[in-house]
Structure 1
Amino acid sequence: MARRRTLEAPDPKALAEIEAGFAAKPTGGPGGFAAPIAQVAAEAAADRDARPAADRAAAARTAADAASWRDARAEGRVIVTLPIEAIALDHLTRDRIETDAEAMEELMASIRASGQRLPVEVVELGEGRYGLVSGWRRLRALALIAAEDGTRATAKAVIRPRGEAGDAYAAMVEENEIRAQLTPYERGRIAAVAAHSGAFESMEAAVDAIFAAASKAKRSKIRSFALVHFELSDLLTHGRALSEAAGLRLAGALKAGFAAKLRDALEHGDPADAAEEWALLEAALAPLEAAPKPSPRGGRPKRKAPETLAETVLPDGTRARLREEGTRIVLALEGPGEHGARRALAERLMAVIAEEARG
């Protein structure tokens, strides 16, 4: 068994050496001891200064890269993968009313062959939810492919900064104008819907903002179709099939105050297709367009052509014609005879009239 060591009290000389050692330590905390935190910080700073310059440069680059990545994500320049069920497709009212089945099949075939090459655009709604801004067809195609394959549907997406609703509508329309030409009715419809949702003060403001790149004449036509959608959309089944000329005719009748008659024609008809629906509207337009319209310019109204009340030819060839011109009754003497003879005849007639007046 090991022997236990007997502890002995230090002699006076050893105590003096211990006290001298404590006295030599720096003070700064309670009881004369250095603060542990300050000491650790000082040692860390010393270690940092002792690191090679290359290590410090690498750390700085890492910090700068992290800041750049955060900025890129905040500005919508980072592509992420999101589950499709987390994306609200109805965040905005879509500008396209129908989807062509053949075009959708072609898009699905392209995605199967090459993958999703272009990301959709979304905005954060909170709690892991996102609202779709553009890319509805791509998202729909990805969902159909996943359903056919029995896999989880995901989509590559760019998270855009959450801005004004008007900017989102403009972005959606801009993409569809490039990728799939919108019909005149679809352009007017999205402007009317955006204004009705409160994204713009009026349909005119919506057209000017969403279609800012369009010419003045084109924006005027879009406003006409926006009016057609606003007044007739609840009864109009085949608005997308309206030609530009047909839509402008409807807008003209609506501006003239004939909305009730057009609505009545749609409400009491039962069209089977776009052709029958337009036939109903055209039948209602016919009497409206046939009615006389006020002159578009100011100034004096056009004079009505004079109406002949009576006419006779005298032996010398003079033609006597009694005409009504507005509120006046005019007797005209015309013909190959001598001017003096016609004047004498006119004076005799005036004498007869004067005698009749004295009656």
Structure 2
Amino acid sequence: MAKRRKLSAPSPEDLNRMEEEFRRETSAAAAFAPSAAPTAPIAQVAAESAQAAPVTDADTRAEQARNAAAAKTLSDSIAAGLLIHEIPLSQIDPEDMVRDRAALDEEEMNELRRSIGINGLRLPIELYEMSEPEGELKYGILSGYRRFKAVSALFGMTAKPEYQTIKALIRQPGSVPEAFAAMVEENEVRAGLSPFERGRISSIAVQMGVFASTEEAVNAMFASASKAKRSKIRSFALIFEELGDLLAFPETLSEKQGLRLSAALRGGAETALREALGAVVPEDAAQEWQVLEPEIARFEDNARDARKGGRPAKSPAKRRADPANTIRTSSGFTIHREEDTRGYLIRIGGRKVDHEMIDVLMLELQRLLEKP
């Protein structure tokens, strides 16, 4: 009968030795036969990555998170046009967009220059990147035209370096109509336009092809105005279209005067009004209205007589210029194209037209039509 072997528990030293041998054998098996390794591959990769990653404390990780958030905020601000830049005046073309304000009041500009000279420019202007830059000129003015002019004047008068640049926000309007609307909104809020200036910019926007019609232009650029106000703006747009090249003081027309004048134009008084304006050179707004008022009153008297009854006389058809064939310049000239069986005629109007100017234009046309 075999003698039974007595079992005894291993000592702590034996246990440590066996555990060390097990680890060595496991590592060797994993090296030569990865499928035999007891650790899953994903777990092994995670472990190796954790060992390779630098150990950072909580404060460092918090600072890294703050820096990442600040970088995203900066990127979003640039994209939204919220970052203020210092732009050299020489890179800005103030006339890239036709302005709604026909004239700048010199007294107001002097006050603005004094304010900027004492307090600096508190409110940045708004610029947009020009789609076709011209040399050094890269930006057009969306809003802040008067502030730009004031800073430019200060630089011209003082040559101080702080007036060589101007604080600006760079915005990218979604379309040209939005740019016109933004410009008008800025002037409406900060310094109200005259009724004629509202009508003028509406008509110019149509002539430039920004809007299809005066009604569309007025509705887009003066969207917050009441229906009655938009109707008045359309009336002043008609005044600009029909008499803008002859009126010397149109910005002084009151709403009441403008509505009377536009009603006369709609009723067929255009020829008489143009002849009256072309016969004199008024010294001021009051004298110009004295020229217009008799013709307007004559139209109103005829309109009242027509309402008294009886068979109305047949009014002659009003000859209206086709807007598509007419160009009105911001300097007060009208260029109109006509066509007959013999060819085309170009009619140039405006109080400033004289023989010398026509001679120059004819020579320029000859140069353009000569063989290269």
Task: Write out aligned runs for 1:162-311 (5 A).
Answer: 162-292=173-303, 302=309
Task: Write out aligned runs for 1:80-229 (5 A).
Answer: 80-125=85-130, 129-152=138-161, 153-229=164-240
SS across alignment from 1:129: strand
SS across alignment from 1:111: helix
One-letter amino acid of the structure 2 residue matched with residue 230 of structure 1: E
Q: Is 1:50 paired with 2:61?
A: no
One-letter amino acid of the structure 1 residue matched with residue 235 of structure 2: S
Match among 73, 85, 92 for residue 68 of structure 1? 73
Q: Give the deviation of 1:64 after TM superposition.
A: 2.6
Unpaired runs of 5+ residues, structure 1, are: 1-25, 28-41, 305-359
Q: Give the deviation of 1:270 after TM superposition.
A: 2.3
Q: Tell me the percent identity.
A: 45
One-letter amino acid of the structure 2 residue matched with residue 167 of structure 1: E
Aligned partners of 1:76 and 1:83: how far apart in 2?
Answer: 18
Residues 136, 44 of structure 1: alpha-carbon distance in 2 compared, 3 angstrom cutoff = farther
SS across alignment from 2:287: helix
Q: Give the deviation of 1:134 after TM superposition.
A: 0.8
Aligned partners of 1:43 and 1:160: how far apart in 2?
Answer: 49
Q: Deviations over 1:294-336 (max 9, x none)?
A: 978xxxx9569xxxxxxxxxxxxxxxxxxxxxxxxxxxxxxxx
Aligned partners of 2:84 and 2:112: how far apart in 1?
Answer: 21
Residues 303, 103 of structure 1: alpha-carbon distance in 2 compared, 3 angstrom cutoff = closer
Q: Give the deviation of 1:63 after TM superposition.
A: 2.5
Match among 70, 77, 82 for residue 82 of structure 2? 77
Residues 46, 138 of structure 1: alpha-carbon distance in 2 compared, 3 angstrom cutoff = farther
One-letter amino acid of the structure 2 residue matched with residue 144 of structure 1: A
Residues 170, 162 of structure 1: alpha-carbon distance in 2 compared, 3 angstrom cutoff = closer
Q: Structure 2 length as normaliser, TM-score?
A: 0.64
Q: Give the deviation of 1:45 after TM superposition.
A: 8.0
Contact kept in structure 2, 1:74 and 1:161, CA below 8 Å: no
Q: Deviations over 1:85-129 (max 9, x none)?
A: 111101221122222222112111111111110000111126671
Q: Structure 1 length as normaliser, TM-score?
A: 0.67
Contact kept in structure 2, 1:124 and 1:162, CA below 8 Å: no
SS across alignment from 1:133: strand
Residues 67, 227 of structure 1: alpha-carbon distance in 2 compared, 3 angstrom cutoff = same
One-letter amino acid of the structure 2 residue matched with residue 256 of structure 1: G
SS across alignment from 1:270: coil
SS across alignment from 1:130: strand
Unpaired runs of 5+ residues, structure 2, are: 1-30, 33-46, 312-372
Task: Select the structure of larger CA radius of gyration.
Answer: 1
Residues 45, 167 of structure 1: alpha-carbon distance in 2 compared, 3 angstrom cutoff = farther
SS across alignment from 1:123: strand
Q: Deviations over 1:155-185 (max 9, x none)?
A: 1001112322222222222222222222111
| Regions of 4+ moved over 6 Å | 42-45
Residues 78, 205 of structure 1: alpha-carbon distance in 2 compared, 3 angstrom cutoff = same
Residues 46, 189 of structure 1: alpha-carbon distance in 2 compared, 3 angstrom cutoff = farther
Contact kept in structure 1, 2:269 and 2:295, CA below 8 Å: no
Aligned partners of 1:43 and 1:261: how far apart in 2?
Answer: 94
SS across alignment from 1:50: coil
Contact kept in structure 2, 1:91 and 1:133, CA below 8 Å: no
Aligned length: 264
Aligned partners of 2:180 and 2:239: how far apart in 1?
Answer: 20
Aligned partners of 2:246 and 2:53: how far apart in 1?
Answer: 76
Contact kept in structure 2, 1:92 and 1:132, CA below 8 Å: yes
Residues 166, 283 of structure 1: alpha-carbon distance in 2 compared, 3 angstrom cutoff = same
Residues 226, 108 of structure 1: alpha-carbon distance in 2 compared, 3 angstrom cutoff = same
Contact kept in structure 2, 1:227 and 1:251, CA below 8 Å: yes
